[in-house]
Each structure stands twice: as structure tokens, then as C-alpha cells.
């Protein structure tokens, strides 16, 4: 195993020791100080590879995982995976530091929190570095599972459980669609390697599975990155602790869909369907999220919809830039590739300013006890450092200088103008709308960004509206992570090409391999003279300020649209309706009666077996080879029938148990007559043990007030019993009369040569079915551990505690 593999597996390995650290040291040592070492080590590892990757090198390492299925844990590090690796580990380090001061070690189950967080971190790192599409899918779904656990961390809250379930259902649904898509890709190319698939692009585009594979993979990407109409899960996921929101919903998980689109662009890019789906859904998501964000009164909900909007912005740029992968466009390649360059730059910037803003909102909530902007105000004098950080993040997201968001927002306008001025895939009138929609969305972005820092920090402070009695500045440990991100936001504005040269351009080459990264288009500048993009920005500021200060007059227009037609309402109503209908249907057959359940099972077995015999012509019985039967056989069978009837009709429990044991002993006698001493001995031991244990149970149970009542005659029971008996008899006779294959017993006849065993039964159990037997024992062991746990590890204060 290589060092690269070890680095990717480090979060999972570290997660194993979290419970031990928590149990032994939690009283004096916050578990986060142990966990923070993991992302920091990974971040340093990726930093070391920046010079090599910037020079065009890549790393490809293979590790066998399931060789029989040709599934290897192949890892690939290029510019794109390096950029995501730095974001995941870098922001992860700051989030863990933030959580140390946000999550109180006295009140929180920190071992659970950090196990889930490390699981997610490991899954994301493996996802962006995996070259095997099946491994990528496995880790993709692991991000959904671990995010479900993180969102539902405060599981005692109904909204946390509901939000986690919604996120799980939507993202896993998309993940399953994505699985079908990557399997189609593997079928087309006869390989699971992404690099080998990319080398066979021409054959893929001409294949009949090209469009289905594309649609299914995009479905997975859109659900994960909260694109319209799948964006409804992200606002509800804000019920998670703020460190989770800052990590999953700004820097990592929601970016997985963007990563997938960028990684698949060399395969599907250049197709008009890919262009319109990715760019079109992205631009719709952009305007939808920005408008919805303005309506919010909860700061985290506002950030959630702003995240949806920003993800749509990046997705639209990836769609427009995919035109660079069209063959034969000549000099236009760099013009369209600029949109992907802008998308990657804004993706990096978004991770900085949005992570910062989530942390700021967490600080406000932590220190005031509320996130409702209607209650907040006047915090600038009380929390000046938090205000400064919030100002930096808000103005960066609004696209104002001197912050990195201004640079990437200007590049976004350039990308949309490029799509409008250089039509390439038809529907030219639609691309003319792209700059207009982008400008409208930017105006609303400007409005909600001002809401983020004006409403909580300006105005009059009303302490009586706040749940916490005393409001003060956050501790330095909670302020340090957003401060570091704020410094990055400013530094990137002044030295953007340092980031572009070493991080963004190598990522661009990974998406568009044929592009010239040294082209002058890819030099980032804050000033390009008076151009269309600058005029659009000035218009955003003017109209944004006008609308912001008149928001009470026009915000009521949103009430015209009925809430019952919103996507979220339709989802919730649909889920509630299904739950009610399925609950009603389930209650009809889940009666709690064991008799009813046995009836269902026996009727199903009878119908299926008899139908199979009739359909497949299996009722031909051949009794010519049957052995003769003796008086002993008949006598034992008659005795078995009498013992079975005694079990049914006796009113004494002891008699019923003895009669039932007698049936087992009579079966043992049949084995003796049939010359199967091993089976007879086994039957005798098992029957003796079970009968004795049965009698002991009744001996130790409390005395029952009355004897067994006589069974009432039930015609349904009689008919089903007869049908089951006939079915089993016919199946047995049919099986003995139809030998479609060579009997398996012939294989075991040479057990001595194969296993060195004189006893065939023992050879089958120990050698031929050794793993089966071992797993059966393991199941019993696990069940025993479960019983022991339930008995011994009772919660404190439980009603079952011994007194």
C-alpha cells in the first residue's frame, strides 16, 4: 500500500480510535484536538504536491481490492483532484478547530460527531482521487450516509431527523441513477478506469448508451449539488450543527456534484445535450436560489439558498465551458475554456467566503441564542471582530472589491457574455438570455449579501428579544478559523495569479486537456477598463441598493405565489400522503397475530410451489426406483402421526412437549433404519437438548392460571395444512423423480481423497462448507453479543435499572 493510499485511508483509521480517546480523555481533553491532526496532515501532504502538479505531472497508483471483479482502488492525482483535496483538507482543518470551541465537550456526544465527520472527510477525499468508477460510486454513497448522520446529529429534534431523511432520499436516489450511468460507461469501454474511458471518447459519443449514461450521471450530480428541482434538501439540512453546515454545505459535499460534472466533461463535453442540460439547469438554479434567499428570515436558511444560487452559478459556467471540448472550433477553444477557468476559480473562492459566513452565523447563534434577523440588530458594537469578518465574506459574495468574489463574479459575467456572443449549439436566442438572467440573479445576490451583515449588526440592539441574557464577542478560538478564511478572501484579490498558476490552471487542464493554460485569457486582473462586465457590476450595485432599502415595499410580491405550489411543500405533502396510505395498507396485514403471518407465508409457499410444478411440467412422478418399505417403516410413521396429533389436542403443556420430542426421536429411528448413524446421532443430541431446554423453560416460568384450552376447529387452518402437506409431498416426489443434473453426492464420494476424511458428513461441514459453518457460528456469536449488550449496557436512569 502506497503512502497516497494511506493518506486517503487516514480519516477512517483515525475514526477507529476516536471512541477510545473520547472515553479516556474527554474530561480534560477535547476530542477535536486529536481529530484536527488528521486533516492537517492530509493538507500538508497535498501542499507538497503543488509544484509537481503545476508542472504538468500526475500521480497514478493502483491497489488491488476485488481482483475477481477487476475492481481496484486506483488513485489519480491531477490538478482537479489536488484542488478539491486542498479544499477538503484545508477547510476541514479550520472546521475542526471551530468545532472545538462550538461543540461543548460536557454536553455533546463528541465521539459520534467526529466519527461521522472523519467518515465524511475520508469518503470525499477518496471520491475526488479515485480513478475506478465503482470505487468512486461507493465513496459517493458513503458521503450521503455520513452526511445523513451528521445532519441528524441532534436526533432528538424532529426537524433534524426530517432534514437528514430528505437529504438521504434525494442524494441516494441520484446516486443510484449515477451507478447505472457509470456501469453503462464501463459496458461501452470494457473498463472501470476513468483515464481509460477518457482515452476512448470518440467511441463513446457514437454508442447507443451515450445519452442514457450522460442523463443518469447528471442526475447524480444535480441531486448532490442541490440543483433545481432537487435543491429542496439543502435548506432542511441546515438543522445540522454549524460546523457541519460550514463543511458539508459550503466547501465539500455540495461540491461533489460539481466535481463529477468537471471530471466527466472530457467524456461528455462537446455534446449539445450536455451543454444545454448543465448550463440550463445551472442558470435556473442560480436565479431560483437568489430569489428564494431574499425571502428568508433565518440566517442559515438565507445561506442555504445562497449556496444553491452559487452552486448554480458554477454549474452554468461548467456547462458553457464544455463547448471548449467540441472538435473543430479552433481559436474559440480558449474563449469557452475561460468559463471553466472562471467556474473553478469561483468554486475555490466560494469555499472561502461561504465557509467564513457559516462560521459567522454560528457565532451569532452561539452568542445570542437566535439566527432570526427580525430579533437581531446592533451587534456591531458588541461583536466588532465578528462584524468585520461578516463584512468581508458578505461583500465578497456580493462581488465587490477588494475581495476575491469580485474577480470571479466579473469572470462569470464574461463567461455568460461569451455564451451569448458565440453561439455554437443552436437555440441561439436562449443563450442571449444568459447574461440577463445572470445580472438579475446578481442583483438579488447583492440584496441578500447586504441582509447578512446589515440586519444583524446595524440598527438598535434589543437584548430583550434574545434568548441569551448576556451577549458578547466570541472566544478567540471560534474567531480564528473564519479570520483565516477572511485573510484568504482579501489576499486572493491582490495576488490571484499565484493561486491561478499553481491551483486553478492545472485543474483547468485536467478538465480541458487540449487547452493552452498559458493563454493571456487566463491571466486574472481586477481592472480591465470600462467594459460590459464593469457596467453590469455598477448596475448590480445601484439596483441592489435601491431594492435593498425598499425591500418592505416589494417583498410582499412573493406572497402572490401560493406556498402550496412550492417544491418543498409538494415533497412534504407527497411524503405525508405516502406514509398515511402505506401505514393504512400495512395495518391491514400487520395485525400482530403470529397465526396470520404463518398463513401468509404458507399460502405464498403453496401457491408458488404448485404453480411452478404445473408451469414447468414437474408433476411427472417416477416411483419405479423407490425402495421397498418394511413393517418397521409403517409402524414408525403411524407413531409419528399419533405423536403429532397428541401435540395438537392435549391440554397439558408437559404432555405436548414430550409428544413433540417423541416426533423427533421417531425421525431419529427412521435414520437408523435408513443406515445413517451420523444423522441419527445428531438428531438424538439436538432433540434431547431442545426438549430438555423446553422443559426447563416451563419449569422456571411463572405458573399460569389455567390449563391449555382445547383448540377450536378452524376450517381455514385445516385446508392450508392439507395444502402444505400435499405441496411438500409433491415437491419431494418430483425432486426424486426428476434428476436434471448430476447428483452432488457424487462429488462428495471421494471425500477421503479431497479432504482426507473418512466421514463424508464431517468433511462437508468442516472442509467443503467450512466458511458456511464458520459464518453460522459468527452469526450466533453476534446474536449473543447483542443479547449481552441489551441486558448489561442499560441507559442510566432507565426504568429497567435494578433497584
DSSP string, 75-87: EEE-HHHHHHHHH
Predicted local distance difference test score (pLDDT) of residue 590 = 85
Q: Encode pLDDT of 342-379 as tens digits.
A: 999 999 999 999 999 999 999 999 889 888 898 898 89
> Rounded CA gap, 453 and 265, in Å?
37
Residues of the chain under the 70 pLDDT cut: 106, 327-331, 425-429, 561-562, 620-626, 701-711, 737-740, 794-803
Residue 59: its H or E element: strand 59-61
Q: Could you tell me whether strands 71-72 and 64-66 are parallel, antiparallel, or unpaired per DSSP bridges?
A: antiparallel
- 480 exposure class (CB count in 10 Å sphere: 0-12, 13-18, 19+): middle
Compute φ and ψ for 495, nearest 5 degrees: -130, 60
Predicted local distance difference test score (pLDDT) of residue 798 = 43
Task: Kindly report each contact of residues 719-725 with a partner whose C-beta sits within 8 Å and lies 24 or more positions away, as own/partner.
Answer: 720/599, 720/602, 720/603, 720/606, 723/602, 723/606, 724/602, 724/605, 724/606
Q: Where are the domains of the chain?
A: 150-557, 609-704+725-771
Predicted local distance difference test score (pLDDT) of residue 802 = 40
Q: Do 509 and 517 touch, CB atoms closer than 8 A?
A: yes
Predicted local distance difference test score (pLDDT) of residue 704 = 58
Amino acid at each position: 500500500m502506497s503512502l497516497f493510499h494511506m493518506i486517503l485511508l487516514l480519516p477512517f483509521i483515525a475514526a477507529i480510535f476516536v471512541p477510545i480517546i473520547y472515553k479516556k480523555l474527554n474530561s480534560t481533553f477535547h476530542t477535536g484536538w486529536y481529530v484536527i491532526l488528521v486533516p492537517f496532515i492530509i493538507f500538508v501532504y497535498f501542499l507538497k504536491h503543488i509544484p509537481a502538479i503545476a508542472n504538468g505531472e500526475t500521480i497514478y497508483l493502483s491497489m488491488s481490492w476485488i481482483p475477481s471483479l477487476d475492481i481496484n482502488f486506483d488513485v489519480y492525482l491531477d490538478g482537479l483532484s489536488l484542488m478539491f483535496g486542498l479544499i477538503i483538507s484545508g477547510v476541514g482543518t479550520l472546521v475542526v478547530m471551530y468545532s472545538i470551541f462550538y461543540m461543548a465537550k460536557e454536553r455533546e456526544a463528541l465521539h459520534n460527531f467526529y466519527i461521522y465527520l472523519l467518515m465524511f472527510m475520508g469518503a470525499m477525499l477518496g471520491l475526488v482521487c479515485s480513478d475506478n468508477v465503482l470505487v468512486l460510486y461507493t465513496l459517493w454513497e458513503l458521503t450521503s450516509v455520513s452526511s445523513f448522520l451528521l445532519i441528524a446529529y441532534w436526533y432528538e429534534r424532529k426537524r433534524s431527523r426530517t432534514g437528514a431523511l430528505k437529504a438521504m432520499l434525494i442524494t441516494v436516489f441520484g446516486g443510484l441513477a449515477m451507478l447505472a450511468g457509470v456501469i453503462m460507461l464501463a459496458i461501452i469501454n470494457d473498463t472501470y478506469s476513468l483515464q481509460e474511458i477518457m482515452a476512448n471518447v470518440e467511441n463513446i459519443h457514437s454508442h447507443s448508451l451515450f445519452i442514457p449514461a450522460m442523463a443518469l450521471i447528471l442526475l447524480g450530480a444535480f441531486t448532490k449539488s442541490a440543483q433545481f428541482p432537487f435543491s429542496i434538501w439543502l435548506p432542511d439540512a441546515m438543522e445540522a450543527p454549524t460546523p457541519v453546515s460550514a463543511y458539508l454545505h459550503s466547501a465539500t459535499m455540495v461540491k461533489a456534484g460539481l466535481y463529477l460534472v468537471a471530471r466527466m466533461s472530457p467524456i461528455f463535453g462537446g455534446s449539445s445535450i450536455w451543454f444545454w442540460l448543465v448550463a440550463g439547469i445551472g442558470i435556473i438554479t442560480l436565479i431560483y436560489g437568489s430569489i428564494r434567499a431574499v425571502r428568508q428570515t433565518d440566517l442559515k436558511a438565507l445561506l442555504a439558498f445562497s449556496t444553491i444560487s452559487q452552486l448554480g452559478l458554477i454549474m452554468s459556467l461548467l456547462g458553457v465551458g464544455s463547448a471548449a471540448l467540441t472538435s473543430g472550433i479552433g481559436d474559440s477553444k480558449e474563449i469557452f475554456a475561460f468559463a471553466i477557468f472562471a467556474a473553478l476559480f469561483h468554486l475555490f473562492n466560494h469555499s472561502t467566503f461561504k465557509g467564513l459566513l457559516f462560521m459567522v452565523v454560528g457565532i451569532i447563534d452561539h452568542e445570542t441564542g437566535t439566527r432570526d434577523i427580525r430579533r437581531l440588530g446592533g451587534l456591531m458594537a458588541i461583536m466588532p471582530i465578528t462584524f468585520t469578518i461578516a463584512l468581508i465574506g458578505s461583500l465578497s459574495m456580493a462581488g465587490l472589491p477588494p475581495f476575491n468574489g469580485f474577480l470571479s463574479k466579473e469572470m462569470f459575467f464574461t463567461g455568460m457574455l461569451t455564451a451569448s456572443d458565440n453561439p455554437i449549439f443552436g437555440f441561439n436566442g436562449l443563450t442571449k438570455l444568459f447574461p440577463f438572467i445572470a445580472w438579475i440573479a446578481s442583483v438579488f445576490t447583492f440584496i441578500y449579501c447586504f441582509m447578512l451583515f446589515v440586519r444583524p449588526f446595524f440598527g438598535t440592539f434589543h437584548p430583550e428579544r434574545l434568548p441569551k441574557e448576556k451577549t458578547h464577542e466570541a472566544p478567540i478560538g471560534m474567531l480564528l478559523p473564519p479570520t483565516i478564511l477572511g485573510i484568504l478572501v482579501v489576499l486572493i484579490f491582490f495576488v490571484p495569479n499565484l493561486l491561478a498558476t499553481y491551483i486553478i490552471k492545472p485543474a483547468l487542464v485536467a478538465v480541458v486537456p487540449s487547452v493552452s493554460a498559458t493563454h493571456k485569457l487566463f491571466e486574472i486582473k481586477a481592472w480591465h477598463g470600462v467594459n460590459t462586465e464593469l457596467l453590469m457590476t455598477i448596475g448590480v450595485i445601484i439596483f441592489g441598493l435601491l431594492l435593498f432599502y425598499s425591500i418592505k415595499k416589494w417583498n410582499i410580491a412573493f406572497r402572490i405565489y401560493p406556498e402550496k405550489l412550492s417544491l418543498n411543500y409538494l415533497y412534504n405533502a407527497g411524503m405525508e400522503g405516502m406514509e398515511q396510505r402505506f401505514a393504512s395498507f400495512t395495518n391491514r396485514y400487520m395485525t400482530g397475530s403470529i397465526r396470520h403471518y404463518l398463513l401468509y407465508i404458507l399460502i405464498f409457499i403453496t401457491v408458488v410451489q404448485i404453480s411452478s410444478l404445473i408451469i414447468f411440467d414437474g408433476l411427472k412422478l417416477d416411483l419405479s426406483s423407490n425402495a421397498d418399505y418394511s413393517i418397521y417403516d409403517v409402524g414408525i410413521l403411524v407413531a409419528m402421526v399419533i405423536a403429532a396429533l397428541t401435540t395438537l389436542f392435549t391440554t397439558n403443556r408437559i404432555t405436548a412437549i414430550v409428544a413433540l420430542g417423541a416426533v423427533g426421536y421417531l425421525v431419529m429411528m427412521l435414520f437408523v433404519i435408513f443406515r445413517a448413524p451420523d444423522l441419527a446421532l445428531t438428531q438424538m443430541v439436538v432433540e434431547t437438548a431442545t426438549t430438555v431446554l423446553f422443559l426447563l423453560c416451563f419449569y422456571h416460568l411463572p405458573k399460569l392460571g389455567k390449563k391449555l384450552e382445547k383448540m377450536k376447529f378452524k376450517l381455514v387452518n385445516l385446508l392450508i395444512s392439507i395444502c402444505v402437506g400435499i405441496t411438500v409431498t409433491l415437491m419431494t416426489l418430483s425432486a426424486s423423480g426428476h434428476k436434471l443434473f448430476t447428483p452432488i453426492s457424487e462429488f462428495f464420494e471421494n471425500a477421503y481423497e479431497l479432504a482426507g476424511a473418512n466421514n463424508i458428513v464431517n468433511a462437508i461441514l468442516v472442509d467443503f462448507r467450512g466458511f458456511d459453518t464458520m459464518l453460522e457460528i459468527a452469526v450466533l456469536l453476534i446474536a449473543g453479543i447483542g443479547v449481552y449488550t441489551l441486558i448489561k449496557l442499560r441507559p442510566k436512569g432507565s426504568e429497567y435499572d435494578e433497584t
